[in-house]
Amino acid sequence: MYLGLKEMWHEKLRYTLLSGVLLLIALVVFMLAGLANGLSAGNRQAVDVWQARSVYLNKDANQTLTASQLKLTDRDKLSNQPVAPISVLSGTLRTNKNGLKTSISALATSRNSFLMPKVVSGHAINGKHQLLISAALKEKGFHIGQKVRVGTTNRTVKIVGTYAANTYMIAPTAYTDTSTLNWLKSLPITTGKRQSVNGFVTKQATFKNKHHGGLEKLSIATFINKIPGYSAEQLTLNTMIYFLFVIALAIIGIFMFVLTLQKKPLFGVLKVQGIGTNHILAALLTQSIAMALIGIILGLGITVGLAQIMPAGLPFAINWPQFGLYGLALLLASVIGALLSWRTVAKIDPVVALG
């Protein structure tokens, strides 16, 4: 401890520079993690709000909601638990004269279903051609009472309420009932049990019997992973993060090794005085842990600061347990990096100090 810290204090420039390098690595790790979280949330937030356990889709739909075509009557194949139909339409939300225009994920379920979001202003859907919008859309200028178009038709619906902001497939959501969405999609059947839906969401329902009738059950986790682009994005960003751990390890390892080679005569002197390999290694470890801590803490601070001034459109979210874990991983990488010099330190012969 004493030796390691004293040396850092005396060689401030050298150790500040390396802390700086670690700071940059930590910063990139945290920024990538924040972006990965932001993208992840942007894709799945609406699904998380459902608090559901599983989703039933058409078994030929390759596990994606938009590709799944079912009828409301398919619900009868599931046991009698809370089950809600779900339909989706990705499109633009625009005012009559195209004054406001934005991409949304329009979701539809039955009017009294557990998937319907909690209305915070206005009222729940109680009639035909009504729409609830996410608070994020309200901030863009859409408001209760407004007539808006969804998708490419000229059919208009009326905004009747808003709910806490959430997103699906990186677009703010809007909710309506199944019939209205089918009407907006210009489908032939917009009433009754033979209407189209994309799937069924449930908290605990199971298949009634062995004949699944063309349905496939997906856990919510699988369902989220199959959101188009979701797993590819997460995999890319996470791979970059894992590589950065290796790079941090390599940088600390190489730097500590070069310093160890440089300091061989000094370590020889220490050994002559009875200060052994373990003490020298403890000093190296102290130094790499101190540098890693400085880099990680500053990197975290800068990340949090940047998150405050980031444009709202940038998907970015801080997940503290995860950031803590990544911080620990960086710390571990620097400990391992320092330990790479162990053999070299152990092999230093005190006699070299005697010249």
Residues that bind other proteins (CB under 8 A): 2-3, 6-7, 9-11, 266, 269-276, 279, 350-351, 353-355
DSSP-assigned letters across all residues of 32-63: HHHHHHHHHHHHHHHHHHHT-SEEEEETTSTT
Nearer to other proteins, 274 or 321 (CB): 274
Q: Which of 133, 141, 143 is nearest to 105 (CA)?
A: 133
Smallest gap, in angstroms, from Cβ of residue 6 to other proteins?
6
Between the CA of residue 15 and those of 4, 163, 289, what are the distances in Å? 11, 51, 12
Report, in Å, the least distance between residue 259 CB and other proteins.
12
> Which amino acid does the sequence have at 54?
S
Q: Taking a C-beta distance cutoff of 8 angstroms, is the pair 205, 55 a contact?
A: no
Which residues lie closer than 8 Å to 232 by C-beta, 6 or more apart?
Answer: none
| Separation between Cα atoms, residue 202 and residue 177, nearest integer Å | 17
CB of 335 to other proteins, least distance (A): 22
Which residue's CB is nearer to other proteins, number 8 or number 160? 8
What is the nearest approach in angstroms of other proteins to the Cβ of residue 50?
A: 60
**Which lies closer to other proteins via its Cβ, residue 309 or residue 354?**
354
Segments in 197-352 forming alpha helices (H) = 220-225, 230-262, 264-272, 277-309, 320-339, 342-347
Which residue lies nearer to other proteins by CB, 246 or 261?
A: 261
Least distance from C-beta 8 to other proteins, angstroms? 9
Q: Provide, for the chain, the percentages of residues in helix, strand and coil under a 3-state DSSP scheme, each rounded to the nearest 5.
A: 50, 20, 30
Closest distance to other proteins from the beta carbon of 338 (Å): 18
Minimal distance in Å, beta carbon 345 to other proteins?
13
Residues found in the chain: 355
Residue closer to other proteins (CB basis): 8 or 27: 8
| Residue number with CB closer to other proteins (258 or 297) | 258
Residue with tokens 């005085």: 273
What is the token pair recorded at 257?
């090794």
Q: Give dist(CA 106, CA 131) in Å, integer.
A: 9
Four-CA torsion 50, 230, 170, 228, nearest 10 degrees: -90
Cα distance between residue 201 and residue 69, in whole Å: 14
Find the shortest distance in angstroms from Cβ 328 to other proteins. Answer: 29
Q: By C-beta, is 11 or 76 nearer to other proteins? A: 11
Identity of residue 322: Q
* Residue with smaller CB distance to other proteins, 20 or 276: 276
Of 84, 89, 91, which is closest to residue 50 (Cα–Cα)? 84
- Please count the other Cβ atoms lying within 10 Å of the Cβ belonging to residue 270: 21
